[in-house]
Amino acid sequence: MTSAAATRLPRRRRPGWVDSFLLAVRIAAIVLLIWGIAGTVVKGINGEGPTGEAWRDLVVAGIAQGAMYGLIALGYSMVYGVLGFINFAHGEVFMSGGMVGFFVANYLWDIRFWDTNFVLSILLVLASSILASTLVAVIVERVAYRPLRDAPRLIPLITSIGISFFLQYTFAGLFGVAVKNYPPPPDYLRARIGFLDLEIEGTKLAVIVVAVVTMVALYLFVEKTRTGRSIRAVAEDKEIAALMGINVDRTIVATFAVGGAMAGVAGTLWALLFRGVSFITGFLPGIKAFTAAVLGGIGNLGGAMAGGVLLGLFEGVGPQLVLAGFGIPGVSQLKDVVAFTALVLVLIFKPSGLFGERLAAEDRA
């Protein structure tokens, strides 16, 4: 048995040019960050730039979008925890939910049920979206990943990229490439709602509340239920879990199903926030959610949630807060740049992600 402590002894070596370069990058990042923020603050003092309400809306929008990223990120993180590879098709699992939800919503709109009973309608949409995402996730696991269970981890990774394209173009082929717009939510949801002295747009508040409830439910599921216990056992050691009588295949299916259900919830939240879905809708949110999972420390569920919300906030507030300080025009177009820069910076400062301590298994790819 090799001692783990021995490998953790500090290695004394002279810092090379790479270290100096990374140090320079770190210092530059901090300086630019402060400079940008300072610039924005100066503008604010001079009465330029966004107003207080505008800032509040940016923060709320960021949290709402981040909550959605967090829900999708959970799926990445859970599958990574159990199988040790990134399921890049997870964005498409999310898209499937949004897409199927659209058809249900559209039907309800056609029969005038959407207007008369919106709450029940959105619950039906949510249920169908969850069902669709869960089914897609489980089928993908069964068809594409289970045969590769013993293959090196790069192989399911590449497969997941293939599945991702397969799902995108299956949906494009079946339902066309045009963006499908959900029917509008009722006026009372689009209006601003007073909440702790803050006037918040109803849909955003609903999105945040639903996301929080879902995350709490997932936490209880993983920590308190029997299936959750099995999932944690399989994530720690598949061989031992099997020897303790746990059905590993069934537990892996459960993991994909739960991740899929989270993505399904996110699909409906996406519809509430942006209304439009198309076959390509899963791509960018999928990548962002993956970013969020890495940001929070992949394999760690709390980290995925926190990473999602943080990424949403960076993305929502970052352009105005940092980039505008340099006087760059059209900053809100640059939110994707900010999101991925945030990822790079976090990884430079803390390579295991913000909450990534628990990722101990050294054989992870």
Partner 1 sequence: MVMLDIHNLHKSFGGVEALAGVNLHIAQGEIVSVIGPNGAGKTSFFNVVTGFYPPDSGEILFEGESIVGLESSRITEAGIARTFQNVRLFLNMTVLENVMVAQHCRTRAGAFHAILRTPFLRREEAEIRARAEEILSFFGTRLVGYRFDQPALSLSYANRRRLEIARAMASEPKLLLLDEPVAGMNPRETAELTGLIRKLRDERGFTVVIIEHDMRVVRDVSDRVIVLDHGVKIAEGSYDEVSSDEAVIEAYLGRPAEVG
Q: What would the x/- binding string for partner 1 be over residues 95 to 114, using CB under 8 A? A: --------------------
Which residue(s) pair with 276 in the sheet?
A: 181
d(CA 239, CA 215): 29
Return the number of the residue (199 or 236) whose C-beta is nearest partner 1.
236
1 contributes a contact to partner 1 by CB under 8 A = yes
d(CA 109, CA 103): 10
**Residue of 146, 150, 135, 144 whose CA lies nearest to 250:** 146
Q: What would the x/- binding string for partner 1 be over residues 235 to 254, using CB under 8 A? A: -xx-xxxxxxxxxx------
Question: For residue 103, what are the CA distances in angstroms to 17, 157, 258, 280?
Answer: 57, 31, 23, 17
**Residue of 320, 332, 318, 325 whose CA lies nearest to 43:** 325
* Token pair in block for residue 96: 């499937």
> CB 229 → partner 1: shortest distance, Å?
5
Q: Which of residues 213-232 bind partner 1 (CB under 8 A)?
A: 225-227, 229-230, 232
Q: Which residues of 51-62 are buried (b: 16+ CB within 10 A; e: fewer)?
A: eeeeeebbebbb
> CB 1 → partner 1: shortest distance, Å?
5
Return the number of the residue (239 or 362) whose C-beta is nearest partner 1.
239
> CB 361 → partner 1: shortest distance, Å?
10
Amino acid at 82: V
Question: For residue 292, what are the CA distances in angstroms to 90, 191, 310?
Answer: 13, 30, 8
> CB 242 → partner 1: shortest distance, Å?
4
Return the number of the residue (174 or 360) whose C-beta is nearest partner 1.
360
* 275 Ramachandran zone, left/alpha/beta (phi>0; psi -120 to 50): left
Return the number of the residue (146 or 232) whose C-beta is nearest partner 1.
232
Return the number of the residue (202 or 228) whose C-beta is nearest partner 1.
228
Return the number of the residue (153 or 232) whose C-beta is nearest partner 1.
232
> CB 254 → partner 1: shortest distance, Å?
8
Q: What would the x/- binding string for partner 1 be over residues 111 to 150, using CB under 8 A? A: ----------------------------------------
Binding positions for partner 1, rule: CB under 8 A: 1, 225-227, 229-230, 232-233, 236-237, 239-248, 358
